[in-house]
């Protein structure tokens, strides 16, 4: 198997190999954000050798999906089946096919984009449940893999299934985007040898999503690539945002309203304020939509330090969506060199600082490793104390990441994105001291407090840097945990 092709998927491959060794029938569910490489993983691992493979067709009718199923079955059996009128009939024919296969080897079936097969009123899920419970689960040599970008559908209909699929899943694979380190290796395999600063900037725009990274041209600079991919005429990802949400969620415009509202608030929104800003009703449906966005990797729920009763706040956490809503939406067609020409734009610098905080949260394992606390039980949260200023300006003290450790130490992490070595001056030194004192007094903690600075190129050694008790740099975030 080509290890480069399956870069960063060692654990998933290990679990797939483990499933193949088991004597019982396997129902494997593969989750992950759209474009993260789920189909690629399964195709490459099995070297595209399936006993049957069907891919759901987006926005197609039940009749079209059944015809696609019939076509694939015809290819496998080398016979012509009559048109299917229902999924139950289709799965009955499918069962006949599987029963004719040899019993001394594993047979792999791959249903890709399964949520798209479940069209309204099609009874697909009921037919699949019956097929699996009446036949599939008893076939010790059958490996059934189901996959879909609509993570919420898989979660609701398989993970939380209260009917025939309850507790039937034998393996779950949750594909995450590449880490910074994996992104660096991936780009190198494509002949792109950028500095880690540029790779981090690229990551803050695209995330570690292989489909987006594939669009990069090694003969162009990073800025030229971003202009070409997002702002040029016919740009490859200019329409990606709308397509992304439309293919994942029913009534996608409502999810877009949520994401747009969250993109405008640095510290996130509670449900009530989110309802007001998005124009959506403040009810249970809003909660379900937020849960689906969290499950799909677009939004994160914020955990506050020792404030379990505080209203949950939600933040937009998908890099591509953050970048698109901040820069691409409304700018398409204005200037094909927009990104290159706005190099020193204050808005761009503010975005980089905020997005770097998200980059740090997504590389927590690397941060803990650098601090030497990988083996120490650690709870992660954020902390914020209201200031006396205008709340609309979100004044007050904020600590980006609080690491409460089992060794009775609390690491207060400050993330600062800079093009050079970061220098603490007298004014910022006082801000840091005020934050630490405010945290101690408002939380009442008696634990030791440790100030950790997470920066791109480190902190300059001067008379104000002694306050820092731990440092993490961009290089550390590239480490393999």
Strand partners, 189: none
Q: Give a yes or no: residue 146 inside a domain.
A: yes
Q: Give a yes or no: residue 125 inside a domain.
A: yes
3-state secondary structure at position 442: helix
Q: Give a yes or no: residue 422 inside a domain.
A: yes
Its domain, for residue 216, covers 180-235
Task: Compute the distance between CA of residue 452 and CA of residue 465 in angstroms, rounded to an integer.
Answer: 11
Same domain, residue pair 417 and 374:
yes
Q: Give a yes or no: residue 123 inside a domain.
A: yes
Helices 196-206, 180-189: axis angle to 10 degrees equals 110
Task: Compute the distance between CA of residue 179 and CA of residue 480 in angstroms, rounded to an integer.
Answer: 9
CATH number, domain with residue 18: 3.40.50.300
User: What one-character-per-residue DSSP string does 285-299 give?
Assistant: HHHHHHHHHHHTTSE
CATH number, domain with residue 264: 1.10.10.10
Q: Give a yes or no: residue 134 inside a domain.
A: yes
Q: Could you state, in chain order, the average pLDDT of each consecutive group of 10 residues for the chain (481 residues)?
A: 63 94 94 93 93 96 97 94 96 96 92 95 94 94 93 86 80 94 95 97 97 95 96 91 93 96 91 96 95 93 80 92 93 80 88 95 97 94 70 64 95 95 96 94 94 97 95 97 82
What integer pLDDT is reported at residue 13 of this predicted model? 93
Same domain, residue pair 216 and 152:
no
Task: Compute the distance between CA of residue 245 and CA of residue 257 in angstroms, rounded to an integer.
Answer: 11
Task: Compute the distance between CA of residue 355 and CA of residue 456 in angstroms, rounded to an integer.
Answer: 13
* Number of domains observed in the structure of the chain: 4
Strand partners, 270: 313
Task: Compute the distance between CA of residue 324 and CA of residue 320 in angstroms, rounded to an integer.
Answer: 6
Residue pair 132/168 in contact by the 8 Å Cβ criterion: yes
Same domain, residue pair 167 and 50:
yes
CATH number, domain with residue 462: 3.40.1350.10
Same domain, residue pair 188 and 158:
no
* Phi, psi dihedrals of residue 207, rounded to the nearest 5°: 70, -175
Q: Look at residues 276, 301, 328 and tell me which one is the last residue of a structural domain.
A: 328
Distances (CA, A) of 325 to 2, 119, 205: 37, 31, 11
* Phi, psi dihedrals of residue 120, rounded to the nearest 5°: -55, 130
Q: Look at residues 135, 160, 175 and tell me which one is the last residue of a structural domain.
A: 175
Burial of 246 (0-12, 13-18, 19+ CB in 10 A): middle
Same domain, residue pair 16 and 150:
yes
Same domain, residue pair 133 and 192:
no
What integer pLDDT is reported at residue 389 of this predicted model? 42
Give the sheet arrangement for strand 448-455, strand by strand: 378-386, 396-405, 409-416, 448-455, 470-472
What integer pLDDT is reported at residue 442 of this predicted model? 92
Give the sheet arrangement for strand 26-32, strand by strand: 52-55, 107-112, 142-147, 26-32, 171-175
390 Cβ neighbours under 8 A, 6+ residues apart: none
Task: Compute the distance between CA of residue 316 and CA of residue 304 in angstroms, rounded to an integer.
Answer: 16
Q: Give a yes or no: residue 335 inside a domain.
A: no
Same domain, residue pair 15 and 134:
yes
Tokens 């195709």 correspond to what residue?
43
Q: Give a yes or no: residue 157 inside a domain.
A: yes
Tokens 């877009």 correspond to what residue?
256
Same domain, residue pair 255 and 401:
no
Task: Compute the distance between CA of residue 313 and CA of residue 318 in angstroms, rounded to an integer.
Answer: 16
Same domain, residue pair 262 and 387:
no
Task: Compute the distance between CA of residue 305 and CA of residue 139 in angstroms, rounded to an integer.
Answer: 49
**The CA-based dihedral angle spanning residues 179, 181, 183, 185, taken in that order and rounded to the nearest 10 degrees:** -150
What integer pLDDT is reported at residue 267 of this predicted model? 84
Tokens 């059944």 correspond to what residue?
66
User: 357-377: string of b/e by CB count within 10 Å (b at 16+)?
Assistant: bbbbbbbbebbbbbbebeeee
pTM above 0.85, yes or no: yes
Same domain, residue pair 195 and 140:
no
Same domain, residue pair 31 and 159:
yes
H or E segment at 89? helix 87-99
Structure tokens at 349: 């610098």
Same domain, residue pair 26 and 146:
yes
Tokens 């640095």 correspond to what residue?
266
Q: Give a yes or no: residue 349 inside a domain.
A: no
């Amino acid at each position: 198997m080509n290890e480069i092709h399956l870069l960063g998927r060692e654990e998933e491959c290990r679990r797939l190999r483990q499933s193949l060794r088991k004597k019982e029938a396997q129902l494997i569910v593969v989750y992950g954000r759209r474009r993260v490489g789920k189909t690629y993983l399964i195709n490459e691992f099995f070297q595209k050798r399936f006993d049957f493979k069907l891919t759901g067709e987006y926005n197609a009718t039940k009749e079209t999906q059944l015809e696609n199923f019939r076509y694939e079955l015809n290819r496998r059996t080398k016979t012509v089946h009559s048109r299917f009128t229902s999924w139950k009939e289709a799965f009955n024919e499918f069962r006949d096919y599987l029963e004719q296969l040899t019993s001394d080897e594993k047979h792999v079936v791959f249903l890709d984009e399964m949520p798209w097969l479940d069209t309204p009123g099609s009874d697909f899920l009921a037919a699949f449940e019956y097929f699996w419970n009446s036949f599939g689960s008893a076939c010790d040599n059958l490996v059934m893999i189901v996959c879909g970008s609509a993570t919420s559908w898989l979660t609701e209909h398989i993970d939380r299934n209260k009917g025939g699929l309850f507790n039937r899943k034998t393996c779950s694979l949750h594909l995450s985007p590449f880490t910074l380190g994996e992104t660096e290796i991936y780009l190198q395999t494509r002949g792109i040898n950028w500095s880690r600063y540029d790779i981090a900037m690229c990551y803050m725009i695209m995330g570690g999503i292989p489909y987006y990274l594939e669009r990069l041209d090694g003969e162009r600079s990073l800025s030229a690539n971003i202009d070409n991919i997002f702002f040029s005429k016919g740009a490859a990802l200019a329409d990606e945002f709308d397509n992304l949400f439309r293919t994942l969620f029913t009534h996608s415009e409502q999810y877009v309203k949520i994401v747009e509202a969250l993109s405008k608030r640095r510290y996130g929104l509670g449900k009530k304020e989110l309802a007001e800003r998005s124009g959506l009703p403040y009810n249970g449906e809003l909660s379900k939509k937020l849960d689906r966005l969290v499950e799909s990797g677009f939004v994160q729920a914020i955990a506050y330090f020792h404030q379990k009763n505080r209203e949950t706040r939600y933040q937009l956490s998908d890099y591509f969506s953050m970048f698109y809503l901040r820069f691409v939406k409304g700018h398409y067609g204005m200037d094909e060199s927009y990104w290159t020409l706005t190099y020193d734009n204050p808005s761009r610098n503010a975005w980089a600082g905020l997005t770097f905080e998200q980059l740090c949260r997504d590389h927590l394992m690397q941060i803990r490793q650098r601090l030497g606390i990988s083996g120490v039980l650690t709870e992660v949260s954020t902390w914020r104390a209201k200031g006396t200023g205008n709340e609309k300006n979100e004044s007050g003290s904020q600590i980006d990441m609080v690491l409460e450790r089992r060794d009775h130490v609390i690491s207060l992490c400050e993330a600062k994105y800079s093009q050079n070595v970061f220098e603490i001056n007298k004014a910022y030194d006082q801000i840091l001291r005020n934050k630490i004192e405010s945290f101690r007094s408002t939380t009442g903690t008696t634990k030791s407090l440790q100030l950790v600075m997470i920066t791109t190129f480190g902190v300059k050694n001067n008379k104000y840097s002694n306050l820092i008790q731990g440092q993490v740099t961009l290089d550390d975030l590239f480490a393999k945990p």
